[in-house]
Amino acid sequence: MRVHLIGCEGAGMKWMADHYRGKGYEVSGSDILLGPSDPGRVKGADLVVYSAAVPESDPERRAAKAAGIKQISRAEALAAAAAVIGKCIAVAGTHGKTTTACMLGEILRAYDPAVFFGGTYRGERGRANGDILIAEACEYRRGFLYMSPDIAVVLNAELDHTDCYSSSADVVRAFAAFVARSEDAVIPDAFTGAFVPRSHAVAVGRTGSYACIDCVPRGTGSDIALKTPEGVRRFRLGVPGRHNAENAAFAVAAARIFGAHWQEIAEGLERFTGVDRRLQLVGSVRGAAVYSDYAHHPSELAASLSAYRDMGYERVLAVFQPHTHERLGAFLDGFAEVLSRCDSVILPVFRARGTDEGACSEDLARRITEKGGRSVALGMPEAAAYIKENAPVYGAIAVTGAGDNERLLPYILDRLPSDG
């Protein structure tokens, strides 16, 4: 059997390729990053899997339809993989799902898990086959509703994908439907009333069964205390930030439902050192530490900036790349409010999909200035020069966003972390 993947360079699609190869299938692929779409590539395929970014009008998808080749989305393919593997823990949420899925992968390492997530952890993209599946479940276009996990974890639920959700209430309804498809669930205490009532749902938060009650910075990690049904438990966490300590509370709750021992949980949390592009130290420039971070929502930016303060950085320069004009327009005030708390360089908008309708980088820089912050909108070459010139006055420089802003790093870094 041959499977053809359209959009094969995405992290989730690379995982699917590994999964299919592990099952003995022949795998081919295409991606706009590798060259233009070619209808001839689907000839002879038995199944076509496409990423969420690939429209129905794509030439390869049209060719597959004309040839009668079955097509499924990456979300459907993941749900099918979960059914094949068996036991599944699916982690959803507007923020933190990649980190929490990888955290669970470390905690449950002894149970030989396959781990699916949208990124890389320690340079790897996750194990594609195992005895259980720990999966990041994305709400984009309600893709997570194809899954029926044994344990559903919902970390939070905010409006993020404005192109497919009309309101915050619409988002919460989708997450409620996701929880309803599970056998067991871990949910935020604040949303308990919004979800389908289930006697086996475990709540996390101030009024829940689990909660983060203390988080003390310790170098690049944290010492945390969690409230649990069995009393307060203290752990060493290998990543900084209060938001990561709260992610850990959800991971611990899910691990206990699964049946993990406390020692396995403690060892896994300490081993976990963070996902690539999540508060990732990548080097330095003229004495300032340089971090790569995926934050691309106002709440995520606020959490990251708080973590930098916790790590002892007094002055932070945020180098932020907005993700689509439409999205920037929807969250313009939220971004401006957060970024007015530090100095910022705003890069050109990354156009992942959609149109140019919405806001531009200059709009955000102006709004930040109106709120009392210091901001400048620059192109990539100008931003690199600005960063190198001004780096000495900052403790940390945060290259932030979900686009291609990592292209800046080779032009600004003096040395990598491994250089000593």
Measured CA to CA, the distance from residue 104 to residue 404 in angstroms comes to 28
Q: Do residues 97 and 136 lie in contact, with contact meaning Cβ atoms separated by under 8 Å?
A: yes
- Check residues 220 and 329 and name the one with the higher pLDDT: 329
Question: Average pLDDT, stretch 50-76?
Answer: 97
pLDDT at 122: 74
Tokens read off for 176: 């409620």
Return the SS3 of 199: coil
Query: Above 60 in pLDDT, residue 420?
Result: no
Residue 419 pLDDT exceeds 50: no
Q: Architecture of domain 2-73 in CATH?
A: 3-Layer(aba) Sandwich (3.40)
The pair of three-digit structure tokens given for residue 352, joined into one six-digit string: 């992942």
181-194: average pLDDT: 88
Cα–Cα distance between 194 and 169 in angstroms, integer?
9
Least confident of 191-200, 228-237, 312-321: 191-200
With beta carbons less than 8 A apart as the criterion, state whether 172 and 204 touch.
Answer: no
What is the CATH T-level fold of the domain 86-271, as seen in this structure?
UDP-N-acetylmuramoyl-L-alanine:D-glutamate ligase (3.40.1190)
Q: Angle formed by the axes of helices 11-22 and 74-85, to 10°?
A: 40
Residue 128 makes CB contacts below 8 A (sequence gap 6+) with 15, 16, 18, 19, 21, 22, 114, 116
pLDDT of residue 192: 78
Residue 175, phi then psi, degrees to nearest 5: -65, -35
Mean pLDDT of 35-47: 97
Give me the mean pLDDT over the 21-46 stretch.
Answer: 96
Across 324-332, average pLDDT: 93
275-325: per-residue pLDDT in tens? 988 999 999 999 999 999 999 999 999 999 999 999 999 999 999 999 999
Between the two ends of the chain, the Cα-to-Cα distance in Å is 49
Average pLDDT over residues 402-415: 88
How high is the pLDDT of residue 129? Answer: 86
pLDDT band at 148 (very low <50, low <70, confident <90, very high): very high
Helix (H) or strand (E) holding 235: strand 231-237
Q: Which pLDDT does position 44 carry in this prediction?
A: 97
Domain boundary assignment for the chain? 2-73, 86-271, 280-419
User: Mean pLDDT throughout 203-217?
Assistant: 96
Q: What per-residue confidence (pLDDT) applies to 33?
A: 87
The pLDDT of 248-271, averaged and rounded, is 98
Per-residue pLDDT band at 270 (split at 50, 70, 90): very high
Chain centroid to CA 198: 27
pLDDT(195) > 60: yes
Considering only 115-124, 184-193, 337-346, 402-411, which range has the smallest mean pLDDT? Answer: 115-124
Q: Return the H-helix or E-strand segment holding 219.
A: none
Q: Determine the Cα angle at 239 with ends 236 and 240, to 5°.
A: 100
The pLDDT assigned to 118 comes to: 81
Backbone angles phi, psi at 44, to 5 degrees: 90, -5
CATH number of 280-419: 3.90.190.20
The reported pTM is 0.89
